[in-house]
A and B are shown apart, each in its own frame.
Chain A
Amino acid sequence: MSPRRFTASKDAKPVGARSPLILIVDDFADNREMYTQFLEFSGFRVAEAQNGHEALDKAFALTPDLIVMDLSLPGLDGWEATRRLKADDRTRAIPIIALTGHALAGHSKGAMDAGCDAFITKPCLPERLMEEIKSMLKG
């Protein structure tokens, strides 16, 4: 992957009374907390889950505006979790961005089949993720 440019994010702060709630699902705490830190710094509300079951519980409980789903999770993995969320009326409308360290083609297709709305390969800089989230929320 080519080196990416850094862009300033002065317009990162969301407009309006309540900022969108983003659910970050990742079993690797450093990455999860890094994204959480950056998204909160950028003005989003963030909830975290470290495995599939927790992701389902949080999603049904909080009904976030968007879910960032790492696919390689212990226990219930990201694909299965996505399938269940997309099969449930309460969570079907929530956009899901799949995140994976696997750059192989099969992963992206599997993610789309499971019902993911976007797919991003790690490493993904926090501002890149934020841009994707913003464009998803706008659409």
Chain B
Amino acid sequence: MKRHAALRATTARRGTKIDAADRLKLAEALLAADDLAACAQRALDWLGRAIGVTRAVCLAGGADSVTVLRPIATLGVRGGRVDSFVLDLEARNDPLVGATVGLGASVFGRNGRAAPSTPLGSGRLIAVPLQGRHTLEEYPVGLLLIASTDADIEADARWVAGLLGPRLTALRAAQRREANERRILRERTLLYNIINAVTDPILLTDTEGRITVANARAEALLSAGEDESEGRRRAIALNNMLFSSALTRRAIEGAEPWRHELLLVDPVDGSDLLFELLSTVTVDPREGTGIVSILRNVTDLRRATQEIEENYRKLRLAEADARAERDRLDLIIDSVADPILVTDSNANIVMMNAPAERLFTADLEAGAEARRTVQANDAHFSSFVSNLFFEPGAMRRSGSIGLVDPRTGALLPVEAISGKIVSEHGEVTAIVTILHDRTQELERDRLYEQLKRASSELEQKVREATAELTRQNELLRRSHFEIEQASAAKSQFLANMSHEFRTPLNAILGYTSMLLKGVTGELTPHQRRNLERVDSNAHHLLAIINDILDISRIEAGKMPLTVTKFDLKDLVAEVLAEVEPIISRSRLAVTSQLTPDMPPLKTDRQKVKQIVINFLTNAIKFTPQGSVEVRTEYVDTRDLIAIAVADTGIGVSAEDRDRIFEDFRQADNSPTREYTGAGLGLAICRRLAGMLDGTITLDSEVGRGSTFTLFLPRAVKRA
């Protein structure tokens, strides 16, 4: 058996058993196949048909990898074992790899050489590497595995491999070239898409300035189709000129990457477009030197820059305004005498005016005491403000805080008013507090209290004094009442007395009068003279009684005032007529000198008359010889009248002048006095004048005469 096999192999090597036509057919079939698998399959099919191979596998590297071989064609085997078989050429220890990279065919399962694990099973195995004609490539293209017990087919296998190897190598090369081309095309397309997608114009120009590559945006600016409008073409021509001149300058200025501003025209709407031109020289050994230019549209950027600059300028101005405003505000706030503080939401002081600084800051020079005071002030203030923070509804809070002046250590009673500053969203952003020093106010209150106390003490004293006064008044009123009662009793007594006097006096006067009239017969001269003495004394007694009655009536307020309008001239004439009997007896020259422009009087006629009669009778009584004159005057500036009776009588001495107006007084009050009369006349006159708001004056010289004058308001004021 073994011998036969060796023979067959020799025969095969020689190739005698297969005719040339068959061999030619295989060569044609392999050349006709245009992919690796088909080509390999034809080779395997030929092996089975021509030399009776039953099982074989052809392994080959794929287009993706040359070091990993997979089955691409099989003969007589099928299934998962074949499909999953992989031969990694990097695994150098694998006997199959050794067979693959070797030059000749390897035979396994012979001479104790174990057959490696293959899809063909564990029998005798021939492995023939498949190689190209020129072994330029690092790895062979594949491996042909044939399961065979016949040693003769080894030569035929090598012959097939000699045909199949180059053919597969060529196919694989073509396949790889094709894949490469596809990849390049894809990359190129991608690149173009990317470049076109860039909104900035991108151009590649040659050294002459001709455009080699331009993206869509660059074409829109720099290349015009045949059907473009005239204006658009002119704009594009202008753009080309501008771009070329920029590049020319760029070429002059050197090879470094270069930036330049380039102003182009938008061909569509004619507006100016400002670009930043970035160009870089590229040197390619095949393509030659070129310039890549990227134009970045900075029109909007420039506009934006200008706007930013403008905004910045405005901002600066606004900032300056704000600063000035704040300075002014600071000045105002600082000039407020009351401390003002602004607190943030954590009750930290964020702002304060100068008066507040005096209370809440202490520099290093200040003593420890001052610093402690400041801390205490701060604590008091913070607790006050915090309370407002924790009152959700309240917007304001006011209250008193006891602070201390750090410089003087003096207590400062302070009224604090805090208000929340609320943002649009209702959050408290800050609290403003104004502190008002209440020292003066409290001092004022204290003084006011003192004043009030003093005032109430005073009031109390006044009340006491008033009570005392009331008591005294009451006593006075009582004593006055008693006096009045006494006075009234006296008046009543006098009135009664006068009545009691009058009744008998009436009889005396009546009978005397009748006797003197001769009602009871004629009288002797002696009887008549005595009777006349009785009559005269009775009349005198009556005069005294009347005077006393007058005084008591005046004092009892029972002398009524009867005001009438009358002429003083008539009154004087009437008085002179009434006193005529006395005048004629006295043998004095009694005259009157009346002012002609005397207006009518409006007063109590009877009382004026009584005073004038009294003056006149007194004058006659106290004037032994000479004259008596009645004079009247009118003082129109004061609406006063004066009635004077002047005599050339005995006169009144200076010391007697007041006494003669007293009750029952004559200058000579002695019992042996020369002149009769009760001495009540002037006392009555004084009282009557008082009732008429008038006065009586006396001008007199002893031995030369007296002048009694009555001054009266022309019209009495009383009702």
Chain A residues with CB under 8 Å of chain B are 1-3, 5-6, 9, 28, 30-31, 34-35, 37-38, 41, 72, 100-106, 122-127
Contacts and interface: CB of A to CB of B under 8 A. Distances in A.
A102 B510 contact: no
B503 A31 contact: yes
Contacts of B23: none
Contacts of A123: 502, 505-506, 509-510, 542
Majority secondary structure of chain B interface residues (helix, strand, loop or mixed): helix
Interface stretch (B245-253, B514-522, B672-680): B514-522
B374 interface: no
A102 to B, nearest CB: 5
Most chain A CB atoms below 10 A, which of B510, B553, B581: B510
20 contacts: A2-B578, A3-B543, A6-B517, A9-B517, A31-B503, A31-B510, A38-B519, A41-B519, A72-B499, A101-B502, A101-B506, A102-B495, A103-B502, A104-B553, A105-B558, A122-B506, A124-B510, A125-B510, A125-B513, A126-B510
Given A102-B499, A103-B549, A5 B558 contact: no
B285 interface: no
Sort A-B residue pairs by CB-CB distance and give the 9 closest, nearest first. Answer: A101-B502, A101-B499, A123-B506, A30-B507, A34-B510, A122-B506, A122-B502, A41-B519, A123-B509
A37 B517 contact: no
Nearest to A123: B506
A103 B510 CA distance: 18
B135 interface: no
B514 A126 contact: yes
Contacts of A105: 558, 560
B546 interface: yes
Given A34-B514, A105-B560, A125-B513, A2 B613 contact: yes
Nearest to A6: B513
B519 A103 contact: no
Interface in B472-525: 495, 498-500, 502-507, 509-511, 513-514, 516-517, 519
Nearest to A33: B507
A4 B348 CA distance: 117
Contacts of B513: 6, 125-127
B539 interface: yes
A38 B553 contact: no
Nearest to B610: A2
Contacts of B506: 31, 101, 122-124
B507 A31 contact: yes
A127 B498 CA distance: 22
A30 B511 CA distance: 9
A124 to B, nearest CB: 7
B59 to A, nearest CB: 177
A1 B543 contact: yes
Given A72-B499, A104-B553, A105-B560, A1 B542 contact: yes
Contacts of A38: 510, 514, 519
Contact of B558 (A1, A104, A122): A104
Nearest to A8: B517
A30 B581 CA distance: 30
A37 B713 CA distance: 50
Contacts of B539: 3
Contacts of B546: 1, 103
Contacts of B511: 30, 34
Contacts of B581: 5
Contacts of A31: 503, 506-507, 510
A127 B543 contact: no
Contacts of A124: 506, 510
A37 B495 contact: no
Nearest to B613: A2
A9 B502 CA distance: 25
Contacts of A72: 499
B516 A122 contact: no
Given A35-B510, A104-B558, 5 more contacts: A38-B519, A103-B495, A122-B505, A123-B510, A123-B542
B514 A28 contact: no
Contacts of A5: 581
A34 B514 CA distance: 8
B498 A101 contact: yes
Interface in B571-606: 578, 581
Contacts of B549: 103
Contacts of A34: 507, 510-511, 514
A124 B513 CA distance: 11
A93 to B, nearest CB: 29
A30 to B, nearest CB: 4
Nearest to A106: B558
A106 B514 CA distance: 31
A37 B519 contact: yes
A104 to B, nearest CB: 6
Contacts of A41: 514, 519
Contacts of B516: 6
A37 B578 CA distance: 29
A100 B502 CA distance: 9
B498 A103 contact: yes
Given A1-B542, A34-B514, A104-B553, A122 B560 contact: no
Contacts of B504: 30
A91 to B, nearest CB: 26
A41 B519 CA distance: 7
A69 B504 CA distance: 17
A104 B514 contact: no
A3 B676 CA distance: 15
Nearest to B511: A34
A53 B502 CA distance: 24
Interface string B545-576: 01001000100001010000000000000000
A28 B500 CA distance: 11
A101 B511 CA distance: 17
B553 to A, nearest CB: 7
A9 to B, nearest CB: 8
A105 B559 CA distance: 8
A106 to B, nearest CB: 8
Contacts of B500: 101
Contacts of A122: 502-503, 505-506
A98 to B, nearest CB: 14
Contacts of B514: 34, 37-38, 41, 126
Contacts of A30: 504, 507, 511
A31 B508 CA distance: 9
Contacts of B578: 2
A1 B505 CA distance: 13
Contacts of A3: 539, 543
A96 to B, nearest CB: 19
A101 B498 CA distance: 8
A13 to B, nearest CB: 14
Contacts of B517: 6, 9, 127
Contacts of A100: 499
Nearest to A99: B506
A50 to B, nearest CB: 14
Given A38-B519, A127-B517, A101 B510 contact: no
Contacts of A103: 495, 498, 502, 546, 549
A9 B549 CA distance: 31
B503 A101 contact: yes
Contacts of A2: 578, 613
A109 to B, nearest CB: 10
Contacts of A104: 495, 553, 558
A6 B528 CA distance: 15
